[in-house]
Structure 1
Amino acid sequence: MFGTSGVRGRFGEEITAGLALSIGRALVADGADRVVIGRDPRTTGPLLADALAAGIRECGGEVTDVGMASTPTIARSVAWAGADAGVSITASHNPPTDNGIKLWTPSGMAFDADRRARITELVERETFEPAAWDAVGDRESFEGAIDRHAAAIAAAVDPVDGLRVLVDIGNGAGGVTVRALRSIGCTVETLNEGPDGRFPARPSEPTAENCTTLAAAVAATDADLGIAHDGDADRMMAVDKTGSFVPGDALLALFARDVADAGDQVAMPVNTSLAVEDALAAIDASVVRTRVGDVYVAEAAREDGVVFGGEPSGAWIWPAATLCPDGPFAAAQLAAFVDRMGSLADAVGTIEQYPIRRESHETTAKAAVMETVADRLTAEYDSVSTIDGVRVETDDGWFLVRASGTEPIVRVTAEARTDDRADELAAVGRSYVTTAIEAEG
Structure 2
Amino acid sequence: MKDLPIMSVSGIRGIYGVTLDELFVSRIAYIQTKLSGAGKVVIGRDTRPSGERLMRAICRGIRAAGGEPVDIGIAPTPTTCVAVSELKASAGIIITASHNPSQYNGYKMVHSSGRLFKGDECETVYSHFKRGEYPQEQELKQYDDSPAKTVDAVSIHINKIISTVDVSLIASKRMKVAVDSINGAAGAIFPALLEKLSVEWTGVHNKLDGDFVHNPEPRPEHLTDLSSLLSTSDGFWGGFIFDPDADRLATMGQNGEAVSEEMTLVLALENILEHTKSDIATNLSTSMLIDDVGAKFGVHIFRTKIGEANVVEGMKKFNCKVGGEGNGGVIYPAMSTVRDGLGAMALILELMAKRDKKLFQLTAAWPSYPIVKDKISCESLEPKQLIEKISARFPDEKKDLLDGLKIIRDYGWVHLRASNTEPIIRCYAEAKTDQQAKELSEMVLAEAKR
Give the TM-score normalised by the residue count of structure 1: 0.89
For 2:176 and 2:122, the matched residues in 1 are separated by 42
Correspondence 1:155 to 2:157: no
Which residue is equivalent to 1:302?
316
Counterpart in the other structure of 1:328: 342
Give the equivalent residue in structure 1 for 2:128: 122
Check if 1:103 corresponds to 2:116.
Answer: no
Equivalent in the alignment of 1:288: 302
Cα 1:11–1:407 shift into 2, 3 Å: closer
Residue number among 140, 144, 154 corresponding to 2:152 in the alignment? 144
Partner of 1:189: 202
Maintained 8 Å contact 2:9/2:118 = no
**C-alpha distance in 1 between matches for 2:143 and 2:263:** 53
8 Å Cα contact 1:259-1:307 kept in structure 2:
no
Residue 220 of structure 2 corresponds to residue 205 of structure 1: no
In the alignment, the residues of structure 2 paired with residue 347 and residue 151 of structure 1 have an alpha-carbon distance, to the nearest angstrom, of 27
Instruction: Specify the SS of the correspondent of 2:385.
Output: helix
* Pairing partner for 1:15 from 15, 20, 25: 20
- Amino acid corresponding to residue 153 of structure 2 in structure 1: A
Task: Give the distance between the partners of 2:47 and 2:372, measured in 1 at CA.
Answer: 35
Distance of aligned partners of 1:38 and 1:182 in 2 relative to their CA distance in 1, 3 Å threshold? same
Alignment of 1:52-131 (within 5 A): 52-128=58-134
Greater mean alpha carbon deviation, residues 9-18 or residues 190-199: 190-199
Conservation of the 8 A alpha-carbon contact between 2:82 and 2:157: yes
Q: How does 1:401-416 map to 2 (within 5 A)?
A: 401-405=416-420, 409-416=424-431
Which residue of structure 1 lines up, in the alignment, with residue 365 of structure 2? 350
Tell me, in whole angstroms, the C-alpha distance in 1 between the residues paired with 2:49 and 2:144.
28
Distance 1:20 1:297 in 2: 26
1:100-157 per-position Cα deviation (integer Å, ceiling 9, x unaligned)? 111111332211111111111121222237999x999994324331122122222222
1:26–1:123 CA contact under 8 A, matched in 2: yes
Give the corresponding residue for 1:369.
386
2:250 partner letter: M
The 3 A distance-change label for structure 1 pair 235 and 426 is closer
Moved more, 358-367 or 317-326: 358-367
Given that 1:251 and 1:348 are in contact with CA atoms closer than 8 Å, whether structure 2 keeps it comes out as no
1:250·1:276 contact (CA, 8 Å) conserved in 2? no
3-state DSSP of counterpart to 2:223: helix
Counterparts of 1:181 and 1:225, CA distance in 2: 14
- Alignment counterpart, residue 380 of structure 1, candidates 396, 400, 404: 396
Q: Which of these residues, 18, 25, 34, is aligned with residue 29 of structure 1?
A: 34
Counterparts of 2:439 and 2:177, CA distance in 1: 42
More displaced stretch, 210-219 vs 299-308: 299-308
What pairs with 1:157-172 in structure 2 (closer than 5 Å)?
A: 157-159=165-167, 160=170, 161=172, 162-172=174-184
Q: Give the stretch that moved more between structures: 69-78 or 213-222.
A: 213-222
User: How far off is 1:194 after superposition?
Assistant: 1.9
Cα pair 1:28 1:59 within 8 Å, conserved: yes
| SS class of match (1:226) | strand
CA contact (8 A) 1:256 1:280 kept: no
Normalised by the length of structure 2, the TM-score is: 0.88
2:300 maps to a residue whose letter is: S
The worse-fitting range, judged by mean Cα deviation, of 336-345 and 9-18 is 336-345
Shift of 1:19: 0.7
Change (3 A) 1:87 1:409: closer
The within-5 A match list for 1:420-431 is 421-422=436-437, 425-426=440-441, 428-430=443-445
User: What code does the residue aligned with 2:363 have?
Assistant: V
Which residue of 230, 235, 240 maps to 2:253? 240
- Contact 1:225–1:335 (8 Å) recurs in 2: no
Where do 5+ consecutive residues of structure 2 fail to align? 1-5
Measured after TM superposition, the shift of residue 98 of structure 1 is 1.0
Which whole-Å deviations, capped at 9, do the CAs of 1:309-358 have from their partners, x for residues lacking one? 22222221112321111111111111111111212212211111123344
Count residues in correspondence: 432
**C-alpha contact (below 8 Å) 1:76/1:106 kept by paired residues:** no
CA 430–170 in structure 1, closer or farther in 2 if over 3 Å, else same? closer
Q: Structure 1: which 5+ runs fail to align?
A: none
* CA positional deviation for 1:4: 4.2
Q: Is the 8 A contact 1:35 1:62 kept in 2?
A: yes
Q: What is the alpha-carbon root mean square deviation over aligned residues? A: 2.8
Q: Is the 8 A contact 2:13 2:421 kept in 1?
A: no
Runs of 4+ in 1 over 6 A off after TM superposition: 129-132, 134-138
Classify 1:399/1:36 alpha carbon distance in 2 versus 1 (closer, same or farther; 3 Å): same
Q: Which amino acid aligns with 1:174?
A: A
Asked if residue 390 in structure 1 is aligned to residue 398 in structure 2, the reply is: no
Residue 278 (structure 1) shift:
2.0
Residues 255-274 of structure 1 aligned to structure 2 (within 5 Å): 255-260=268-273, 264-274=278-288
- Do 1:403 and 1:410's aligned partners in 2 also have CA atoms closer than 8 Å? yes
CA contact (8 A) 1:166 1:227 kept: yes
Look up the SS of the partner of 1:96 in the other structure. Answer: coil
- Match of 2:321, SS state, is strand
In 2, Cα distance between equivalents of 1:390 and 1:170: 33
- Which AA in structure 2 matches 1:215? S
Structure 1 252/410 Cα, relative in aligned 2: closer, same or farther at 3 Å? same
Partner SS, residue 282 of structure 1 = helix
Change in Cα spacing, 1:263 to 1:31, as seen in structure 2 (3 Å) is closer
Q: 1:430 offset after TM fit, Å?
A: 4.4
State which drifts further: 70-79 or 274-283: 274-283
SS for the counterpart of 1:87 is strand
8 Å contact 2:175–2:237 — kept in the other structure? yes
